[in-house]
Amino acid sequence: MREHVIPTRWTDFDALGHLTHAAYPVFLDEARDAYLAGTVGSFSDWPCVVAHVSIDYRAEIRYPAAEVTVRTGVEEVGWTSVTFTHEVVGPDGRLAATGKGVVVAFDPDSRSARPIGDAERARLVE
């Protein structure tokens, strides 16, 4: 799994003093983007669209946590899609959430899914 450290913002916290549920999808998206940029290239090199996101919240991360760490791995590479697994860890090292995300490789010209090539597949699962 690759780790991506993300600084929190004041607006990521809610009135109860913990990270709001709405911040987590943004964290997962940033971590997926970093994973893809480090393997197959930036969004302009490897365009994709999000097809699915699910999150299970396990423990709170309390204000004033300055950052979270998102661990991201590839669970499966399909014909046109990539399934990611995520773990969100607080500054104390405790697992706060787990998640999955699926992105579909996208062809901007045809506005549809495109096959993932063997070279891309190999880089995604290194």
How high does pLDDT run on average in the chain? 97
Please give the pLDDT value at position 20. Answer: 97
pLDDT higher than threshold 90 for residue 126? no
| Lookup result for tokens 């090199």 | 45
Please give the pLDDT value at position 80. Answer: 98
| Positions of E strands within 1-126 | 2-7, 48-57, 67-77, 81-89, 95-107, 112-113
* Rounded-to-integer distance, Cα 23 and Cα 12, Å: 6
Reference 101, options 68, 60, 71; nearest CA is: 71
Quick check: pTM over 0.85? Answer: yes
* Rounded-to-integer distance, Cα 1 and Cα 50, Å: 20
Q: Which two tokens stand for residue 108?
A: 């901007």
* CATH number for the domain formed by residue range(s) 2-124: 3.10.129.10
